Every structure is written in C-alpha cells, then in structure tokens.
Amino acid sequence: MTLFDIVPIVAAVIILGLVAALVARRQVRWIIPACFSAGFAVWSLFAVLTEGPLGFWTEHVRNAWGNQIWMDLLLAVGMALIWLVPAARAVGVRPLPWVAFTLATGSIGLCAFAARVLYLRDRAAAP
C-alpha cells in the first residue's frame, strides 16, 4: 500500500472514533479540532508543494465524482457554519474573520474556528 492508500483509511478511522465518542455523549475538547486543523494544514502544505496550489480544482472538475466531492465539501462546511456561527457569537467571537478563514482554507479554518469556540466555551464553564 502506498501513502495515498493509507492516509484516507487512517483519516476515516480517526473520524469514526470521534463520531463514536460524540454518539456516546462524550464532550469534545477544543484540542481535538485544533489538532485536526494543524494536522490537515501540514498535509495540505505537502499537497500544495507537491501538486501545486490549484491542484484541488483539477480534481473537482475532472468528472462527476469530482463535482460531487466538491459539492459535498461545500455542503458540509455550510452546515457546520450554520451551527458554529451562532455558537461563536454566544461566546463573544466575531464570526466574520473566522468564516473568511474557513472559506479560504476549508477544513483547516473550520477546525480552527471550532477549536476557538470550544476553547472559549470551556473557559467560560470552568470554575
């Protein structure tokens, strides 16, 4: 197996673990999305350095599956922002810079945004 065969499997296992924890009603700490943001930023930098800064677009316009993946990512980010923006306002975070960061970087910005909101929520709840 190559690196490109292994990485998607590892990513799926990690996300399934997170989902299992959420379903078990465990609270996700801010460090989890912060680590996701950092890890994905490193992988994205690798992709940009090896494939170029617009390589993602070539993949999304290649065929129907590429289009489907692009629309799936847009829908996922949109749905996440529906919940995250009000939560951000509730803890005193101005959402516009974070939404712009998310739109520019995708999951890197979204995970960082979620980490910030969860951090402030946890800090406010601490005795």
Residue 63 maps to a domain: yes
Contacts 24+ apart (CB under 8 A), 2-10: 7/43
Domain range for 34: 30-125
Residue 112 near residue 33 (C-beta atoms within 8 A): yes
Residue 108 maps to a domain: yes
- Number of structural domains the chain divides into: 1
* Strand ranges in 1-127 using DSSP code E only, listed in sequence order: none
Residue 10 maps to a domain: no
pTM recorded for the entire structure:
0.90
Residue 2 maps to a domain: no
Residue 78 near residue 103 (C-beta atoms within 8 A): no
Residue 52 maps to a domain: yes
Q: What pLDDT, on a 0 to 100 scale, did the predictor assign at position 102?
A: 97
pLDDT tens-digit series, residues 53-69: 999 999 999 999 999 99
Residue 22 maps to a domain: no
Reported as a pLDDT band with limits 50, 70 and 90, residue 120 is very high
Distances (CA, A) of 88 to 8, 97, 110: 30, 11, 12
Say how far apart CA 52 and CA 44 lie, in whole Å. Answer: 10
